[in-house]
Amino acid sequence: MMKKVEFVALAVGAIAAICAAIFLDSGLQFLLCEVLVLFLMAQMWNLAAGYAGQISFGPQMFVGLGGYALYMISNNTTIPVWVVMALVPIVVGLLAIPLGMVVFHLKHAYFAIGTWVAAEIAFQFVIKTPSLGGSSGLVLRPGGEMVEGYPEKTVVAVALFASVALIVALRMFLRSRLGLAVLAVRDNETGAEATGINVRRLHLALYTLTGAGIATAAALYYSTTLFLTPLDAFQAKWAVELMFIVVVGGLGTLTGPAIGVALFIGLREFMTANGYSGDQYWIIMGVLAIAVLLLLPQGIWPALTTFYTRMTRGNTQ
């Protein structure tokens, strides 16, 4: 059931999405697109890693699959881009099921490394395949025509609403029977299995869902860039960024990734605006990650909530 506050959040999200599309200038819209796309992906990685224990080094597999699904279907058929966008999660989700059945033979470290190698295999395959554009990549030409206008205007609205809707959906999901099963498995896998939860099927469902989610966010992102190279889509940079965002913000919480993205992009924009280099930015991010992990190993958001409850409890005593 949807709570009243969630319904209000959805409505506010819809209004904010429309406002963002109308009032923001195009540079800001592009930046906001990046922020929201990263948030959507981070939330997906968080759902798999923080709630299902599937720490994967290979989310770039789904970034690439999403981008290539969008470009290949749009360029080679007359289906409008927006319909293709809705098809991407279905196509990639269907691909994720057999892939998940293979990688779920692997556990823990093997799983993390196996997913990374799987992404590299996909990357090398695309580079070797001329009909997929090879190493030079693809240009978005829906039905053979160049894209006109500013796609980020629409994408920013969709991504903003999708982000709000995702949080509401995840909150509802975690209250549902299936969501409670996910939490039970996270806290004690053997115990959860003993109460009759099919852990394997649950993990596969989450893998498929999060894969399709990352692919959709990637499709949104690459519909604004208008071109796509395998080196960009399949690079391990995606895994690095998502891990930073989720780990610093707070693994296994819904608010953590939002804080992580805000820090990640905020610091980057601040440092580039003040003339620091990209390397200097990453050094700071690395130090920040180490410091957070050593001092607040759960991440920033769980530390804040613990601090807050301790403060309020202190007041009532």
Partner 1 sequence: MTAAQFTVLIFQGLTLGGLYAMIGAGLALNYGILKVLQLAHGEYITYGAFAAIGAIALFPNLPFPLVLLLAFLACALLGAAAQLLIVERAMAHRNEVVAMLVTFGLAVVLRDSLAEFAGADLRGLSVGSLAQANFTIAGITLGVLPLVSLGIALTSFLLLALLIFRTRLGMEIRAVSDMPDIAALVGARVKRTHIVVAALSAGLAAIAGVLLAMRSSISPYSGLDSLLIAFEVVVLGGLGSIRGVLLAGLLLGMTQVISTWADNSAGLFYVHLVFFVVLVFRAKTGKLQ
Q: Which lies closer to partner 1 via its Cβ, residue 65 or residue 168?
A: 65
Angle at 292 (CA atoms; ends 286, 298), nearest 5 degrees = 130
Q: Which lies closer to partner 1 via its Cβ, residue 171 or residue 186?
A: 186
198: which residues sit within 8 A by CB, 6+ positions away?
Answer: none
CA distance 84 to 228: 16
DSSP helix/strand/coil, 92: helix
- Tell me how far, at minimum, the Cβ of 170 lies from partner 1, in Å: 21
- Tell me how far, at minimum, the Cβ of 288 lies from partner 1, in Å: 8
Q: Which lies closer to partner 1 via its Cβ, residue 191 or residue 278?
A: 278
- Tell me how far, at minimum, the Cβ of 31 lies from partner 1, in Å: 22
160: which residues sit within 8 A by CB, 6+ positions away?
Answer: 13, 16, 17, 20, 32, 36
Q: Which lies closer to partner 1 via its Cβ, residue 39 or residue 116?
A: 116
For the chain, the distance separating the N- and C-terminal CA atoms, rounded to the nearest angstrom, is 35
User: What six digits make up the tokens of 39?
Assistant: 């948030």
Furthest C-alpha separation in the chain: 70
Footprint on this chain of partner 1 (rule: CB under 8 A): 55, 102-103, 105-107, 109-110, 112-114, 116-118, 120-121, 124-125, 127-128, 236, 240, 243, 247, 277-280, 282-283, 285-290, 293-294, 297
- Tell me how far, at minimum, the Cβ of 108 lies from partner 1, in Å: 9
DSSP helix/strand/coil, 59: coil
- Tell me how far, at minimum, the Cβ of 37 lies from partner 1, in Å: 21
- Helices first, then strands: H and E counts in the chain: 15, 2
- Tell me how far, at minimum, the Cβ of 180 lies from partner 1, in Å: 22
User: What six digits make up the tokens of 277?
Assistant: 């280099």
DSSP result, 291-310: HHHHH-TT-HHHHHHHHHHH
Q: Which lies closer to partner 1 via its Cβ, residue 11 or residue 183?
A: 183
Q: Which lies closer to partner 1 via its Cβ, residue 13 or residue 230?
A: 230
